[in-house]
Chain A
């Protein structure tokens, strides 16, 4: 059974770069897309972007200029890099497997999430 685990650095200051990693346990990266989704405290979910095992990416247009998602198939890890962070980037960041099939797609499973705080 696939299990996802996210981690990243501690509190950030405005203008710094956020880097997070998601490790995939119990399954292969091939055949799936791997997504990042975030949730500001007390608010709803926002899709950030996704990548497949070959490195093909799709980003949320609102974040594209600051965002880079990469994959390391040898380590079975997916990474997120978000530059020039502000307080509005404070959120729980989740990674999730995107299952695609004829007619649709869905996120399953999700990692437990990691809280990122941006504060001066």
Chain B
């Protein structure tokens, strides 16, 4: 994927986990980043939009940030129900289309 995420991440309950998303000037560097959570067997749902905004109903344990051509999703106070796949997404000015990262599978140990 043009947006690069680590394939896996893990943590124990209560810990803070950070998932990275690396891109380029044509996508993350020039456009906002969204994050989606996909619980097992379900459709993705919006988690973070516009780099760091939480939709209503999303706990403040989830936070997003961006610096240059990279973005990050941080999950604090990790809970078992956070076990899911997480995807970053951004518009790409060169592709003239929308990109998703390859996804990161989060395991809560």
Interface residues of chain A, those whose CB is within 8 Å of chain B, are 35, 37, 44-47, 58-61, 94, 101, 103-113
Contacts and interface: CB of A to CB of B under 8 A. Distances in A.
A45 B80 CA distance: 24
Contacts of B98: 35, 47, 60
B36 interface: yes
B97 A104 contact: no
- Which secondary structure dominates where chain A touches chain B? strand
A107 B99 CA distance: 12
- For chain B, the bracket of interface size reads 20 to 34
A94 B44 contact: yes
A58 B97 contact: yes
B95 interface: yes
Contacts of B32: 103-105
Contacts of B25: none
Interface of B: 1, 31-32, 34, 36, 42-46, 49-51, 55, 87, 89, 91, 95-103
Contact of B34 (A46, A106, A112): A106
Contact of B102 (A44, A94, A112): A44
Contacts of A60: 97-98
B43 A112 contact: yes
A60 B2 CA distance: 14
Contacts of A46: 100
B93 to A, nearest CB: 13
Given A44-B100, A45-B103, A104-B32, A110 B91 contact: no
A105 B53 CA distance: 12
A108 B96 contact: no
Contacts of B55: 108
Given A44-B87, A103-B32, A103-B50, A110 B45 contact: yes
22 contacts: A44-B100, A44-B101, A44-B103, A45-B36, A47-B97, A60-B97, A61-B95, A94-B43, A101-B50, A103-B32, A103-B50, A104-B32, A104-B34, A104-B51, A105-B91, A106-B34, A106-B46, A106-B50, A108-B49, A110-B43, A110-B45, A112-B42
